[in-house]
Amino acid sequence: MKRDKIAPRKMITIIIMTVSQSNLAMLTVDVLLDTIENQRLGTEYQPLVNVASLETVGHEALARFYRRDGGALPPQQVFDALHHSPFTLFQVELLAKRFQIAAAPREGLLFLNVDPDAFMQPVSDERRHPMLALFESPQRLVVEIIENSSVQEAHLSQKLAGILEAHGVRLALDDIGGPESMLSLTLLGEVDYFKFDRSWLGRRGDPAGMRLLKALLGYARELGKQCVLEGVETE
């Protein structure tokens, strides 16, 4: 069962952004600015269920964005547009993470997606990084590192993983095997959780794909890592 929560509206400072023409065709600047300025954002908490006991062991927090009329905006379109303005991306990401932690279910693990491009924006003192301050009590937090589609992005994810690991934050590698991702062996060795993309569900008739999945699961088992399969909505 999914749980949605909406952030209380407050005014925040807006940094004017430049959005590419392709994104403008899908998401207009006025709608995006209205959404950010009025904090029309919320969180969907998706449960993580232990397949053996059927116990809910935690939740993954996913950012959601809304128009003035309450209609939902596609999150990927919002983030694609925000990537053209790194400081605004950082501002929205920080705001979303604060709300996701504050409004989360009290029990169990809390998985958070952190965008490496947002986190790695320059700060005057890395020891006082605003996002790191959110992870001061990391016992129940698991930060998801996104699988990347380029070598440059993979290096950024590896740097982020090293910083978070040094602060005692548990890590998960997200979207393993996704159609637009590449597999980083370095990250596989550093993270605590493997999160397999839902596309694996469509490969059940592919013998080679299933052998690869079994090999990855065996690798995780040998190293004591936990595994999550995304996209399983029912038994």
The residue ranges of every structural domain in the chain are 114-235
**Residue 157, class by beta-carbon neighbours within 10 Å (0-12 exposed, 13-18 middle, 19+ buried)?**
buried
Looking at per-residue pLDDT, the higher value among 129 and 18 belongs to 129
Pairing of strands 56-66, 41-49: antiparallel
Q: Is residue 173 over pLDDT 70? A: yes
CATH number given to 114-235: 3.20.20.450
Q: Is residue 84 over pLDDT 50? A: yes
The confidence score (pLDDT) of residue 11 equals 35
Q: Which residue has the tokens 């279910």?
A: 105
**What are the tens digits of pLDDT across the range 116-146?**
899 988 888 877 899 988 887 768 999 998 7
CA gap 46, 175 in Å, rounded: 15
Q: Which two tokens stand for residue 108?
A: 């169990």
CA gap 112, 142 in Å, rounded: 6
Residues 6+ apart with CB under 8 A from 28: none
